[in-house]
Amino acid sequence: LYLAAAGIGKMGLVDFDIVDQSNLQRQVIHGESTVGKLKVDSAKNRLADINSDVEVDTYNIRLSSDNAMEIFKEYDIIVDGTDNFPTRYLANDAAVLLGKPYIYGCILRFEGQASVFYSKKGPCYRCLYPEPPPPGLVPSCAEGGVLGILPGIIGLIQATEVVKIILGKGDTLVGRLMLFDALGMKFREMKLRKDKDCPICGENPTIKELIDYEQFCGIPSAAEEEEESAKWEISAKEVKQKLDRTDNFTLVDVREPSEYEICRIDGSVLIPLGKIEEMNPQNLNGISKNDQLILHCKAGVRSLKAAKALKKMGFENVKSMAGGIEEWSESIDPTVPRY
């Protein structure tokens, strides 16, 4: 979850993802009742339940070089809860260009880091990490795993820094990197110095505007990812045509059982995403690797993940229904309830 905070009583949430069952052991602002819903909506509702006086703006979009400056300019403090390098460099650079503090947090397995990068008073993120690691060298939380308690510990440290900056009290983590080892239950601290040769906050900066951060980090851009996703997808109308022709394929619903009870497409087989991601063909209810499979979820995100997981297991004929059962209800069968 990416947060931008402005003063007391107002905050902005930026996230384009939906709540997944796998998020719940570490993203406690969500719950089982919000699986399949937009993360920004789930978080906003939970925050309103805690304190309805807090004004929460939501941005259900992918943060990018095209929109970061426009979004950030409305806020005083940028709080980073992301898990990828392009967004970290993007958030840092936008914060430097706007002269705002960037509160950094990072977690993996049993370890976490936190700092405040504020170029007006100390180093920025690029002063610490001038270049990103090679693609694939550092696993994401999904790939490497994370102790569920750890995000809460690092997140509370970040929240404490927000309050201190707002109140103008105490010693912030500007110029210091805090390292936490959960297994050893130890905190360590590294002193950070401003790099005079930093390309964005140094004496002779070369970065005057936001750049292409996916290219900088050597990973596919959002447009390339969308193009790749299109190769995996089939439209709801095409699925309807196949059903009408009684084509030989299996329609697999990868949502949770509670969602399946609310609404379903006739003839679909329920195999939740979590079971598929266990990479155990025995969980697939007798489905063969030679079968033609079309997967669907609520909006198309989980089914795309499931399709790629099945591909790794050796299933060749797999497609994801774009837009999920939401699109089915919208364009094929309006009697299917929406939730």
Active site residues: 141, 297
The one-letter amino acid at 22: S
How many of the other CB atoms lie within 10 Å of CB of 278? 11
Instruction: In whole angstroms, give the CA distance from residue 166 to residue 301.
Output: 37
Instruction: In whole angstroms, give the CA distance from residue 153 to residue 112.
Output: 9
Instruction: In whole angstroms, give the CA distance from residue 181 to residue 272.
Output: 34
In three-state secondary structure terms, 270 is: strand
**Of 226, 246, 240, 247, which is closest to residue 328 (Cα–Cα)?**
240
Q: What is the 3-state secondary structure (H, E, C) of 135-201?
A: CCCCCCHHHHCECCCHHHHHHHHHHHHHHHHHHCCCCCCECEEEEEECCCCEEEEEECCCCCCCCCC
**Of 134, 136, 113, which is closest to residue 125 (Cα–Cα)?**
113
In three-state secondary structure terms, 56 is: strand
Exposure string for 154-184, b = 16+ CB within 10 A, e = fewer: bbebbeebbeebeeeeeebbbbbbbebebee
Looking up tokens 């329609």 gives 251
Instruction: In whole angstroms, give the CA distance from residue 339 to residue 328.
Output: 13
Handedness of CA 54, 27, 62, 337 (dihedral sign): negative
